[in-house]
Amino acid sequence: MSLNSFSPSNQENHIILPDPSSSNSSEKYLRVTVIRTTVEVIIPQSYYIYRNGVKDSVRQPPDGYFNIGRQQVTENGHRPNDLMLPPSDRAISRSHCKINYKFFFDATPPEIWISFLMGSHPRLGRNSILQFLPIDLFRYIFLFIKQPRLPMLADLGSMCGTYIKVSNFEPIILEPGMVFLVGSDINIEFDKIVNDHNTSIFGPELTLEEGGGMSMNMVQDSEPFVIIKVSKASADNEATVQTSTWKFVAQDPNKVFTIGRSQVCDINLPENTISRTQCRVFYSNRSWKLLDGVENKPTVNGTWQSICRRNTAIRQESDPFPLKNGSHIKISDTIVQVDWN
């Protein structure tokens, strides 16, 4: 099948958008828009998801999931995907990822809400400690457990992974095992993270010696630190991965560590697809955090967070990842935006 068959002008894949003047225009919806793909010329293509399913989807019946992949149809004639990406892009799996929208539209209160509110009931909760809480504290606790209903993204064990674009102003709190993609093929993995001061941890420290050799010493860390592994496939052999290890220590509370193409960056990545300052890593409020680009300027190609952790088994579905309104999802060379009214 040619790439032209993926074009939004194709009748089978064309989505008829809701008429803003119709009675359904005020109905809650989730929108998935293809904003970039391998098709040379693309008009942004939107899919509208309502409580009862995906509007005009070729995959029936609705099951609460929006499936994304490159397979058009199975051998038995089943349509496995709502959004069918270019079949010529072999980095995309047949069934690559899915968006769970059931909880997003569900108006049923979760059990944790009901249990909490039952504790404040004059009769049913008479033995609960909640009866003795000040009303302001009760409201504060309820707001804490009342998590927003968000659509959830899961990778279906794809080979190349599924990624979320990182903001340049809303930081991500880093956790061990997080992996980020920058440029075309460079992975930044946060191998170890220590957020507390005065934690007695003995570990190896790599030191660059005169002449280019490396020595390893056992040292005791008393400051928060992160161990970062940067990897890239070798130009001569894609099976060979070049890896370097770095350590950032939060000795100066105002220090911002930088990763990018510029030689002044703490980690220098001399690649044309990398921005001068690709991303920033810093320690604040007892946690390590990461931001894309610089304060007033996001990077051109983006910094992308993998929704799969390092220890996730290959071909295994990832844990659900909550999406934000306006999230960008990267699937190989395709970028999809998810937003809602």
Residue predicted with more confidence, 144 or 96: 96
Residues 207 and 86 in one domain: no
Name residues whose C-beta falls within 8 Å of residue 285's C-beta, 6 or more positions apart in sequence. Answer: none
- DSSP label at 58? S
Among the listed residues 70, 26, 49, the one whose alpha carbon sits nearest the alpha carbon of residue 331: 70
Whether residue 129 is found in the same domain as residue 254: no
Task: Clarify whether residues 60 and 184 are in a common domain.
Answer: no
pLDDT at residue 108 is higher than 60: yes
pLDDT surpasses 60 at 128: yes
Residue for token digits 């703490």? Answer: 266
Domains contained in the chain, number: 3
| Residue 132 binned pLDDT confidence (cut-offs 50, 70, 90) | low
Start-to-end CA distance of the chain, whole Å, equals 35
Residue 183's pLDDT is: 94
Q: How many CA atoms lie within 13 A of 41 on its CB side?
A: 2
Percent of the chain with pLDDT over 70: 71
Q: Is the pLDDT of residue 254 over 80?
A: yes
Per-residue pLDDT tens for 258-275?
999 999 999 999 999 999
Query: CA angle 83-87-91, nearest 5°?
Result: 95
**pLDDT over 60 (residue 285):** yes
pLDDT recorded at residue 121: 63
Average pLDDT over residues 44-58: 93
Which of these, 177, 249, 256, 189, lies nearest to 220 by C-alpha position? 249
What domain range is 121 assigned to? 107-145
Q: What is the mean pLDDT of residues 77-93?
A: 93
**Whether residue 123 is found in the same domain as residue 171:** no
Mean pLDDT of the chain: 82
Alpha-carbon distance 244 to 265, whole Å? 15
Between these two residues, 18 and 330, which has the higher pLDDT value?
Answer: 330
Q: Are residues 28 and 133 in the same domain?
A: no
Do 57 and 131 lie in one domain? The reply is no
Looking at residue 261, what DSSP letter applies?
S
| Start-end of H helices in 184-341 | none
Residues 117 and 63 both lie in one domain:
no
Identify residue 167 by its one-letter amino acid code: S
CB neighbour list of residue 265: distance below 8 Å, 6 or more residues apart: 258, 259, 276, 277, 278
Q: Are residues 232 and 300 in the same domain?
A: yes
Q: How far is CA 179 from the centre of its chain?
A: 10
Q: pLDDT digits over 189-213, tens only? A: 999 999 998 655 555 555 544 444 5
Which band of pLDDT confidence, cut at 50, 70 and 90, is reported for residue 252?
A: very high
| Average pLDDT of span 167-171 | 97
Q: Does 297 lie in the same domain as 232?
A: yes
Query: In terms of pTM, does the model score above 0.85?
Result: no
Strand partners, 98: 67, 154
CATH number of the domain at 83, please: 2.60.200.20
Q: 15 and 155: one domain? A: yes
pLDDT for 19 beyond 50: no
Query: In the predicted model, is pLDDT for residue 6 greater than 60?
Result: no
Domain check: are 14 and 89 in the same one? yes
Distance CA 185, CA 188 (A): 10
Q: Is 286 found in the same domain as 184?
A: yes
At position 192, the amino acid (one-letter code) is K
